[in-house]
Structure 1
Amino acid sequence: MEPWIVVGLGNPGPTYAGHRHNVGFLVADELAKRTGARFGAPKGMRAEVAEARLGPPPGAARLVLVKSRTYMNDTGAAVSAVLAFYKLAPDRMIVVHDELDIDPGQLRVKFGGGDNGHNGLKSIRRSLGTGDFYRVRIGVGRPPGRQDPANFLLSNFPASAKADVAIEVDRAADAVESLVSVGLERTQSAFNS
């Protein structure tokens, strides 16, 4: 059975670890923790990759968890290298990312669509020539007042939101598992808020 590529979007390095823009990395880490998978950095991939299995053998779904080692604006290069290595089409990929137009505490799952100004999605679409892949979109909300959206995304979640963020990361990981196990329609019914 072909694996699913699960890409958590974020920026590499400790400086960015707690930023809203890195919530996709947090979900990839949660999925690795759940499955006992460990990230490594294969040569030529420009990404950290962990191979995992969902469920007991022999019917366990294979996941390839991916965290780009490039910055968000160049994520497409890493993603296209991973898809090429595994010889998979974009429709076997789930991208997990932050979404300004969704309120905190909510998430949406969909297939295809535009990039909505998200630089990671823009880079992936440019590299692959298509937006036809699954997305798990985690709401981070709009910045307060006149704060620049880029500065908002490249800032840490407030300490007071730590427990809520952990819940949302957990729900997003559940949504990825659901997409792989039962498909888009049932996942949307269960998770889209």
Structure 2
Amino acid sequence: MSEIRLLVGLGNPGPEYSHTRHNAGFWLVEQFARQHGQTLQPEVKFFGHTARIQQGNLDLRLLLPMNFMNRSGQAVATMANFYKIAPEQILVAYDELDLPPGTAKLKTGGGTGGHNGIKDIVAQLGSPDFHRLRIGIGHPGDKSRVTGYVLGKAPAAEQQLMDDTITQACHSIKLLLEQGMTAAQQHLHSFKAQRE
């Protein structure tokens, strides 16, 4: 039984960003909320949209920070402090350039990988010890093209790979909550989205 009390999805607010690769974390948390019959609602004091899932022993808060990506930590730290949630009880889902579309990885702690949202969360929490769910979006091949790439929309085939992966990742979060990190990692890391 993993003691995850806060699931965070990273992205940028506003309709112009909603379908961009950088919002993969938002997509995952929104889907997880839907699967549990919840809708994320604006909550000004937490600088984001929130929901709560309570089932049996499970009491999980969901958060989409509505500051921009590089200010994500404010929402996460505010909510964590308010509910006395330790970094080790937080799972953050976000887009990962270094993984191809159709893959996702779960890990605990580690560096920021240059991800501005993760950098800010580490800074605001004062700890890198939270869990991460990295959703592969692929890399444009050149550093100078990264910004346009992450803020762009994926072609339909790539989007389908990411959607399939997010469905599997939601299942792995369920395993994480019920059976722990190892079961969740085994499920997620063995999954390979079917490329057409």
Is this a same-fold pair by TM over 0.5?
yes
Cα 1:44–1:180 shift into 2, 3 Å: same
1:77-108 per-position Cα deviation (integer Å, ceiling 9, x unaligned): 01001101211111110000111111111111
Match of 1:107 in 2: 104
Is the CA contact (8 Å cut-off) linking 2:51 and 2:62 kept in structure 1?
A: yes
- Secondary structure in 2 aligned to 1:148? helix
Q: Give the Cα–Cα distance (whole angstroms) in 2 for the partners of residues 174 and 163 of structure 1.
A: 17
Structure 1: where are the runs of 5+ without partners?
A: none
Cα drift, residue 39 of structure 1 = 1.4
Is the CA contact (8 Å cut-off) linking 2:88 and 2:129 kept in structure 1?
A: yes
Q: Aligned match of 2:81 in 65, 84, 104? A: 84
Aligned length: 188
Cα drift, residue 177 of structure 1 = 1.5
Q: Give the Cα–Cα distance (whole angstroms) in 2 for the partners of residues 178 and 89 of structure 1.
A: 20
With normalisation by structure 1, the TM-score equals 0.91
Cα drift, residue 151 of structure 1 = 1.2
Match of 1:190 in 2: 187
Is the CA contact (8 Å cut-off) linking 1:136 and 1:176 kept in structure 2?
A: no
Structure 2: where are the runs of 5+ without partners?
A: 191-196
Q: Give the Cα–Cα distance (whole angstroms) in 1 for the partners of residues 148 and 114 of structure 2.
A: 14
Which amino acid counterpart does residue 45 of structure 1 have in structure 2? Answer: F
Match of 2:36 in 1: 35
Q: Give the Cα–Cα distance (whole angstroms) in 2 for the partners of residues 70 and 179 of structure 1.
A: 28
Is the CA contact (8 Å cut-off) linking 1:9 and 1:67 kept in structure 2?
A: yes
RMSD of the TM alignment (CA)? 1.6
Q: Give the Cα–Cα distance (whole angstroms) in 2 for the partners of residues 115 and 138 of structure 1.
A: 14
Is the CA contact (8 Å cut-off) linking 1:109 and 1:188 kept in structure 2?
A: yes
Q: Give the Cα–Cα distance (whole angstroms) in 1 for the partners of residues 13 and 185 of structure 2.
A: 30
Q: Give the Cα–Cα distance (whole angstroms) in 1 for the partners of residues 91 and 178 of structure 2.
A: 13
With normalisation by structure 2, the TM-score equals 0.90
Is the CA contact (8 Å cut-off) linking 2:42 and 2:50 kept in structure 1?
A: yes
